Amino acid sequence: MKKLNLFVLAILFSFTLLSIPIAKAQEENFVNVNEVNIEDDITLEELDLTEKDVESDNTLFGRFRNRLKLINFNQEKRIKAREKIANINLWKAKKMISQGNEKEKEAAMKRMARYKRHMANIDNQLEKLPPKKKIQYKSTLEKIAKKRIGHHKVLEEISNKLPEKSKLEIMELRKKNALRIKKRFKNLNDIEKEKYLEHLKKKKNLSNIEILEELDTDAPETIKKKIKFIRENHEKVINKKLIILKILKNLMN
């Protein structure tokens, strides 16, 4: 009876602290510990996408309409439209790669090639923006910078499920993304740096811890303290989840 109570308690804790695919667990009538995610995942909304946006890419007409938005006299609108297409491709690659079969992996890599091409175009445009336009497009630039944090996590998920040859290409993309994040952070003033760190506080995952460690290298002392506090808090939460996961595994064996 005591062991049964511990088991029930562990299950309750796991649903509180862990991200478990509820529908799958209900369908199979048990909690599959191998499906438990100890890290906060990236959502569709965090990439500024909706289900409708993703579905729009399923048809030839939808894809044509999305690309039609790239033809605009307003550069800011062109950048936004291109970034949305890049995000759609990244999200679809994430979903395809999770299927696990070779056909879907090949399709995911084609999506990643499109993502890479669109992001390279955006980066090139942002590099060439004159100071006046950087001020004018400030809100858009901040949103792009925020979404790069999500990209970092998704790129990690994708690379972890690929064979070594394909993995290297995604890891290179991830490295470039990290450099962009670091470069932007370095150029922010202290108040803007604190505001940027708020985005990294929201999701407790190893990808964000990795970014925080990178940002810490060139940060002023006051910002270093804030980075350390956020990083240590993330580590504590993830470690707690790991402990509970181990308890669950031991009880189920």
- For residues 173-185, give the mean pLDDT: 93
Specify the pTM.
0.80
Q: What pLDDT digit, counting tens, does each position of 231-242 carry?
A: 999 999 888 888
Q: Above 70 in pLDDT, residue 215?
A: yes
How far from the centroid of its chain's Cα atoms is residue 176's Cα? 15
| Residue 129 structure tokens | 């923006």
How many of the other CB atoms lie within 10 Å of CB of 121?
17
Span 73-86, pLDDT tens digits: 999 999 999 999 99
Cα 188 from Cα 166, distance rounded (Å): 34
Evaluate if residue 130 carries a pLDDT over 80.
yes
- pLDDT tens sequence across 18-31: 444 433 333 443 34
In terms of DSSP H, where are the helices of 128-163?
Answer: 131-136, 138-160
- Whole-angstrom Cα distance, residue 160 to residue 108? 13
Residue 202 — very low, low, confident or very high, per pLDDT cuts 50/70/90?
Answer: confident
57: enclosing H helix or E strand: none
Residue 245 pLDDT: 77
d(CA 148, CA 181): 7
pLDDT of residue 241: 82
Element (DSSP H or E) covering residue 189: none
pLDDT at 112: 95
**Both tokens of residue 70?**
């790239």
